[in-house]
Structure 1
Amino acid sequence: MNKTALLSICTAAMLTAGCSGNRIEDEIDTVESVSDGGTVVLNSGLTVHLLGVSPQSAFAEEYLRANIVGREVALVPDSEGDQTFASYDDEVWAYVTMYDTGEALNRKLLTLAGPKSYYTGELSDSLEAYNAIFAAGPQRRLTDNELSAKLKSASMLVYGSTKEGGFIGTAFFINDNGLAITNNHVLNHGANYRFYLSDSQGNIDFENGYTLNRIVATSDYRTGPDYTIFYVNMDDDSKKRMSWLTVSRQPVAGGDKIATVGNPAPGELLPMSYASGTISAVRAEEKKLQINAPITHGFSGGALVNEYGEVVGISSSGYDNNNANLNFAVDINVVRDRLDQLNLPYAGK
């Protein structure tokens, strides 16, 4: 083929994609829609698969829809993957960065969603770094926005009913098989229970209520630490939607930042609310943490996490009409000891 013919072919190709194609790393565009947990579509029509993020991640999909649609992103290809694309009808694999903040979206989703959302296909550059996200021990401090999303997606509203009436509390998952924790004063053998999942925005799915499978261990709040360990009946599809939290092995101290979620109005069925504060004191003899986070009765049984999103306690009690925010949580150490005694599988074991 002579040079004139080659030039003609290249010139024609440039009308659509350019002689060598469009470079992925040059793309800056707005997210138009979300296809699944690991895929977004840009305004240009280009479909982008997020490297390292499973398309089956329900958490990632919900988070992307709530937080990423309408925002500008930049793309970076994996060094061993395709560097260009021919048409905006194509699909590409890339790392996605938020254009306004520089935040790495792929890493953020994996940090918040956990190993269930991890997918190694097409991944090379960040394989070791992404594997480290799920290694033992905290990785990085989370923002309030991230803590709120992580907590809410792993929590559920507990609704109990007796002949005298109904009551609500909060609980949270600690593995992918329905193992959960709450307070003993929320869940014991004296009522009928329904459990309703929350999404990362705190919206409760009241259309699907789950039932109690069994109580594994409990400690009467009147005589000891206020906790119950239990399983929720969940089918495989429901398990795909749920998230869970890691039980911390890190020591806590007065002044440490903490956060929790729960129902803000015990008399009403409202979305999960986020509350944060600090540990005011560690009451080792009582196996309690004194906290100043502004919580109400509807927060009972909710996870109390550190700034890495790991569970350090269970929100349990406070004083009514107390402006000093004098509230308490069960130290997770006593619950973790019981989990280990029973040889139960949990995140952070």
Structure 2
Amino acid sequence: MTKVLSFPDRSSGFSPARLVEARLAKQKSRAELAREIDLSGQAIGHYETGERRPDMSVIIRIASALEQPVPFFLKPSPSIERHQGTRYFRSVGARSNKLNYALDVRAKWLWELVNLVGSEIRFPAPNLPDILPPEHGIHYTLEELESAAERVRRHWGLGDGPIANVVALFETHGVIVTRLSLISDDVDAFSCWIEKRPYILLGSEKQSSCRSRFDAAHELAHLLLHRDIAQEDLEEKSVRERIELEAHAFAAAFLFPRVAMMREFFSTRLSHLKGLKLRWRVSMQAIAHWAKRLGIIDDYQYVLFRKQISSNKWNKIEPLDREIPIEMPQWLLKCWRLFAARRALPAQGVEDTIGFSLDLIANLFGAPGETSLLTRSVVATG
């Protein structure tokens, strides 16, 4: 009897979802990707829906265009939908949504890697206090926002003085913090809850430590104050504007409490504000704006301050911005080293084992462009 040879599906294991993720992360349309790899947009659509599967030669071209290793596209993609809460995007719309989709994908990949590392390494449990909703209506008053900031400080055992390192503080209390390229200079930070754990993604593009600390505190406000906001609510401009103002006030009160401001803000001289910036690690402009909000200075004094800032061309880059070091996350890289040791990851072929590129892991774990940190970790601890 003649045997009939049967060949397995030549693309068995290909994950359509991974193709969608990688394309969205690069902010490419199907047509754009198709042109790059000499295919039709219709073919990419078939691959993404699973109606057809590419052979290995096509997968290699896709992987090259989307800067992922081939094993990434052969790795199943877990669903995050029922685990993830609202993502606090600062803008929406046709132009912004393309960027938001890319940020969504990066948050999902970070979650996957945290779960992977967390299978071997225990992360600190989230330790954030519950914050009551506004007493009247949907708007927090300034007093309620200051009270919320004070509650967090007391919960974490902080006094009324400057916080030495905001990122390290958050990590100690179970917040997953990373600093990565957020693709656009228009995005400062991004946050969400995933599986009852808070995530804060800070942009690596911002070169001012003080402004980045403010961004981190701003995102903490969203995580604590705005968990009742549904994703569709953010489609309304008025909702976005409201929660942004609330997050700004919370961040200012958290980083520079009223009691300290009343004691230390006694002059609008630029030299004095520069000293306050050095002590509190808050930008001069944020300090002056907070002083006006608290009624310590009036509108006229604030306008004079703004004119001085403008005449010195300090609107974007202030004194000390280059001197005060950027706060870098540490937990994820430390946990990676322990994970690599326990799993005995090989010095070569890590991408085949993990399914993510080393560039991507380094970026998601707060060391953009520093893949040597990952390979050194593997070599040193393997």
Regarding TM over 0.5, the answer is: no
The structure carrying a bigger helix percent of its residues is 2
TM-score (norm 2): 0.27
Which one has more relative contact order, counting CA pairs under 8 Å at least 6 apart? 2
TM-score (norm 1): 0.29
